[in-house]
Chains A and B, each alone.
Chain A
């Protein structure tokens, strides 16, 4: 991710996100209902934070015009990963999300603009019965409001496995 991503929290985006998680709560699509509620506006669902990816120009898990993409086209992958390329697990399909933690300093509402800042955390490896060698890496993303106050602290742990996880 870019070091810093600033993005608008939009009501329409919250409605689409709530639909995607199957959440029928009227607070995500009815502005009048939301205004009369305790939070006083359309709140972001608890896991909405990750949508900063849409505004990150460098986000690696989004195809970009004119650049090779590792998903299928005529062949099963349109971008075979070269041996010297740094493997973030994306190109090989071996990158998985291991853990996600949030601290909510206050509710986030539609109409706000947030800035996400990312810093790397620990990395470690572990041998797994179902996945071979697992390399974990942690990132801490802090989201700030327009006044510079922190609103969400997100900790994400990704894992790259040496083989596909046994099912």
Chain B
């Protein structure tokens, strides 16, 4: 259901656990679906011995994709007008991620209502893994 300007307030939040105990298999699924087969995401010998990381880790775009799922659940399908994040920390297998949108502004342009959201996704340690913002068309 789309959001309504009349029932939203600055500071409102919507939060979802977007993955619990992230599996390597889900990272493989994402590699196949997206077409990004960078071995740092799925290939343990390469990642440990060549890249120098303790383990494979998720595509930033998988974290962003899961964050986007929270956004479309909140604002409705086809309603986003902008979405951007910075990837601030890597996400390793076993991660549980919580994505949160916070209403920053409710505005009207040419009779169309919009909401501006701050977006933050954190891991099970409370560390932020992506941080950004989004905007969406809302109903009056």
B5 CB contacts on chain A under 8 angstroms: none
CB contacts under 8 Å to B, within A36-65, are: 37-39, 43, 45-47, 50-54, 59, 61-63
A72 CB contacts on chain B under 8 angstroms: 39, 43-46
- Count of B interface residues, CB-CB < 8 Å: 52
Give the contact-size bracket for chain A: 35 or more
Task: Find out whether the CB atom of B61 lies under 8 angstroms from the CB atom of A50.
Answer: yes
B82 CB contacts on chain A under 8 angstroms: 101-104
A92 CB contacts on chain B under 8 angstroms: 50-51
Task: Find out whether the CB atom of A45 lies under 8 angstroms from the CB atom of B35.
Answer: no
B69 sits at the interface (CB 8 A): yes
Most B Cβ at <10 Å: residue of A22, A101, A103: A22
Task: Find out whether the CB atom of B64 lies under 8 angstroms from the CB atom of A47.
Answer: yes
Task: Find out whether the CB atom of A17 lies under 8 angstroms from the CB atom of B34.
Answer: yes
A98 CB contacts on chain B under 8 angstroms: 60, 86-87
Q: Quick one: CB contact mask for B113-137 with A, threshold 8 Å, 1 for yes?
A: 0000000000000000000100000
A39–B85 Cα gap in the complex (Å)? 25
Task: Find out whether the CB atom of B53 lies under 8 angstroms from the CB atom of A93.
Answer: yes
B95 sits at the interface (CB 8 A): no
Chain A residue nearest to B70 (CB atoms) is: A23
B39 CB contacts on chain A under 8 angstroms: 70-72, 93
User: Chain B residues in contact with chain A, CB under 8 A?
Assistant: 2, 18-19, 26, 29-30, 32-40, 43-54, 59-62, 64-66, 68-69, 71-73, 76-78, 80-87, 90, 132
Nearest 8 Cβ contacts at the A-B interface: A93-B51, A101-B84, A71-B39, A53-B35, A164-B52, A107-B78, A39-B78, A21-B65
